[in-house]
Amino acid sequence: MKAFRLDDLEAERAANDGAYLQFLRERNMSVGLYALDAGELDPQLPHRQDEVYFVVSGRASIAVGTETTQVGRGSVVYVPAGVPHKFHHITEDLRVMVIFSPPES
């Protein structure tokens, strides 16, 4: 078993001065914590992997392809591989668990 505490992951991410911390990598998937502060711009480019976002905290909108929706704590969003996507209008610091399949390269 591998178990993680969100507080520990957030502290590690912040200590490494990065918006993204990959904390689990297995043969068929990887998982990370992504952080964007209120008002920040999301620099993401499309990924080669399918993704699932689980919003742990915060509020924002997300555009996936031509669709846009608001997200907040508890929201789950699927993004197919290769589709442009970005969080925007981040009104509360956003913390998102990201699951990539296959693992992010």
- pLDDT value for 73: 98
Mean pLDDT of the chain: 97
Q: Which of 47, 34, 7 is nearest to 90 (CA)?
A: 34
Stated pTM of the model: 0.94
Q: Tell me the C-alpha distance between 101 and 58, whole Å.
A: 24
- pLDDT value for 47: 94
Q: What do you get for the CA distance between the two ends of the chain, in Å?
A: 23
Convert the pLDDT of each residue in 49-98 to its tens digit. 999 999 999 999 999 999 999 999 999 999 999 999 999 999 999 999 99
- pLDDT value for 105: 75
